[in-house]
Amino acid sequence: MPSKIRQLGDFAKQADDILVRIDNVDSSAILTIARGAGFDSSSLLAAVDSDYLSTRQNFSFGLLSVGSNTLSSLGITNAKTSTQQDSDITATVNTLKDGAPTELDDLNKIAEAINDDADFFNTVKKYTLQNAPKSIIQGHSYGFLHGGQDLSSIPGSSTNRIDRFPFASDANTSNIGTFGFKTGYAGSFVDPSGNYFVAGGITAPTSISGSPPTGFHSTIYRKNSGDVGDLSAAKAYVSSSQSSTHGYISGGDVSPPGYGIRTIEKVQMATPFVVATVGDLSEQKYYGAGCSSSHCGYETGGVNPQATPPNPTSLNAIERFPFAADTYSSDIADLTGGRHGHAGNSSDTHGYMSGGSLGPDHPSGSTPWASNTSREKFAFANNNNAADVGDLANAFNRRATGVNSDVSGYTAGASVLPTGTNISTDHVQKFPFASDADTSTNVSNMSLRRKGMTGWQT
C-alpha cells in the first residue's frame, strides 16, 4: 500500500481509538494533528486521486466521518436511485404506448380505433359477411322456377306453377303453388325484399309445331301486389336483367310475330312501378339471354329476325347497357359463336351462357334448333370475348332458365330433342362459378316437365 495511504489508515485507526476513549474530544484537534503530520485537505485528495485510484484498491468510506451516508452529503447531486430509475423507465414506456410522439401517433390511433384487437381482420370479415347487404343477382337460400310451357301432355300449354329448390342441398324442387297467370317465355326479376316480378310472355295454349304461337301479353305481375303495370307492347321470348332498383326487359318478339324487336324497357321495383323505354339494342333479336353485373345489364346471342324459322341464324353479340343512364346498348364483345335459346347466369364477376342452339359459325355448330351442352363465360370487368369453359351434364336447346346462388349457376327445363318441338326435360343442372371445367351435374328434378320458364333467387 502506498506510504501516504498507509499512514492515513494508521492515523484514522488511532484517531478512532482516541474518539472511543475520549467522548468530548474536539474533532478540530484531530484535524490539527492531521495537518501537523502533513495531511492538509488538498494533499489528502491528491493522495487519494493519485495513489488510491491508480492502484484500484478498495476503500471504505466508513473509515471517514463525513456526516450522513448519502449521495448529497458527498456532493453528488445528479445521481438517481434504482427506484427512481425504474420509475423513469416505466414512464417512458407508458408515453410510447398511450401518448406516442408524432411519428408514432398514427399507429397509436389505429390501435385505439380497433380496440387493440389482435385479430382485427377476421373480426371485420365476420361482421361484413353477417351484415353486408345481400346481392339480389345471386341468391343465398332458394331458387324459384315459374310458368313455362307444360309439355307433360300434348299439346303443351302455358302454366303458372311455381317450383322451389334449396341451394344448401341437391334436393328435388317442391311445388309451392301458383302465381299470377299462366305464362311462358317471359322476363323476371326480384327486388331486395324477395318480391318477384314476371313481365310479358305467352298466356294462351301454344302450338308445338307449325304456325307461330299466339297469346302474347304485356302484363307485369308482382308477388303480393298482382298486376302493377304493362310493358310498351305484348311481347315474349324476351331477355331480362336487373339492378337493385329496376328490372330490365330487352329484345323479344311481338304479336303478331315480327321476328325480333330492339327495345330495352325498365320497370321500377317500388311504387308507383313506373315502366319506361330507355333505349334500344344494336339490332332486332329474340331468344337471347340476359346477365347482370352490379352496374350493367347484358344481352347475349339471340336469333336474327331476318331469317325465317325454322332455320334462323344465331347471333354472337354481347351487348351492354348501363343501369345509371337511360341509353342505347353497345356491342362490346362476341360469344365463341352464334347461340340462341340458351340460359344466362351471373356471378359477381362473369356472365355465363349455357346450352341452347348453336349457329353455323360456332366451333361446335350443329343443325339449327339442335340441343347442345356448350358453356361459355365473359368477364364484366373488360370487353373481352367469351371463352368456352366446359359442358353441361345434359344438352338442351330452347329454352332453359338461369338461376344464381352466390357460388353456383343453375339451369332448368328446356327442350331436349334435336327438333326442339315436343319433349322437355325436368332436369335442374348446377355448375360452380369457381371452376372452368366439365363440372355440371344434375342435382334436382322439377315437379313438371316444361320449357320457357322464368327464374329468380332469394
pLDDT of 165? 93
Strongest mean pLDDT among 2-6, 144-148, 325-329, 352-356:
325-329
Given the C-alpha cell 321470348, which residue does it identify?
A: 237
Res. 208: pLDDT tops 50: no
The pLDDT tens digits for 84-117 are 888 888 777 666 656 555 656 676 777 777 777 7
Distance CA 323, CA 295 (A): 6
3-state DSSP assignment of residue 428: strand
Helices (H) and strands (E) in the chain, counts: 7, 31
Kindly state the greatest CA–CA separation across the chain.
145
- Residue 256 preceded by cis peptide, ω within 30: yes
- The three cell numbers of residue 103 are 411519428
List, for residues 322-355, the tens digit of each pLDDT value. Answer: 999 999 999 999 999 888 889 999 999 999 998 8
Percent of the chain with pLDDT over 90: 33
C-beta of residue 253 within 8 angstroms of C-beta of residue 259: yes
What secondary structure does DSSP assign to 316-353, as a single string?
-EEEEEESSS----EEEEE-SS-EES-EEEE-SSEEEE
Question: How does residue 309 score in pLDDT terms, banded at 50, 70 and 90?
Answer: low
Q: Is the pLDDT of residue 211 over 70?
A: no
Q: Report the pLDDT value the prediction gives residue 420, as an integer from 0 to 100.
A: 43
CA-to-CA dists, residue 399 to 145, 373, 396, 423, 425, angstroms: 13, 13, 7, 12, 10
User: Scanning the structure block, which residue is given the C-alpha cell 310451357?
Assistant: 149
SS (H, E, C) 58-103: CCCHHHCCCCCCCCHHHCCCCCCCHHHHHHHHHHHHHHHHHCCCHH
Q: 417-422: long-range contacts at Cβ-Cβ below 8 A with a sequence spacing of 24 or more?
A: 417/371, 418/367, 418/369, 418/370, 418/371, 419/369, 420/341, 420/357, 420/369, 420/370, 420/371, 421/208, 421/209, 421/369, 422/151, 422/154, 422/208, 422/209
Task: Give the sheet arrangement for strand 296-300, strand by strand.
Answer: 289-292, 296-300, 317-322, 330-334
Contact 208, 153 (CB under 8 A): no
Is residue 212's pLDDT more than 60?
no
> How large is the average pLDDT for residues 298-321?
80
What's the pLDDT score for residue 207?
44
> What is the per-residue pLDDT across 193-204, written as a single tens digit (0 to 9) for each?
889 999 999 875
Cα–Cα distance, 131 to 128 (Å, whole number): 5
According to DSSP, the residues that pair with 388 across neighbouring strands are 376
Which helix (H) or strand (E) is 15 found in, with range? helix 3-21
- The per-residue pLDDT for range 432-452, each reduced to its tens digit, is 998 887 777 778 788 887 888
**Distances in whole angstroms, Cα of residue 191 to Cα of each of 288, 290, 349, 400:** 23, 17, 20, 22
Of the candidates 41, 32, 44, 35, the one whose C-alpha atom is nearest the C-alpha of residue 5 is: 44
In the chain, the percentage of residues whose pLDDT exceeds 70 is 67
Nearest-5° Cα angle at 283, 282 to 284:
140
**Res 379: pLDDT:** 97
In the chain the first and final C-alpha atoms are separated, in Å, by: 100
Please tell me the predicted confidence (pLDDT) of residue 299: 97
Model confidence at 24: pLDDT above 70: no
Predicted model pTM: 0.70
Task: Work out the pLDDT band at 34, boundaries 50, 70, 90.
Answer: low
Cα–Cα distances (Å) from 297 to 127, 194, 220, 292, 370, in that order, read 30, 20, 19, 5, 28
Please tell me which residue, 41 or 235, carries the higher pLDDT value.
235
For residue 299, the SS3 value is strand
What pLDDT does 373 receive?
82
More confident residue, 441 or 37: 441
The pLDDT assigned to 399 comes to: 79
Of 151-160, 309-318, 377-386, the range with the lowest mean pLDDT is 151-160
Mean pLDDT of 273-300: 94
Q: Select the more confidently predicted residue: 126 or 189.
A: 189
Q: What are the structural domains, with CATH classification, of the chain?
A: 3-69 (no CATH), 142-457 (2.120.10.80)
More confident call, 227 vs 159: 227
Q: Tell the burial category of 12 from Cβ atoms under 10 Å away from its Cβ (0-12, 13-18, 19+).
A: middle
Residue of higher predicted confidence among 69 and 260: 260
Residue 331, pLDDT score? 95
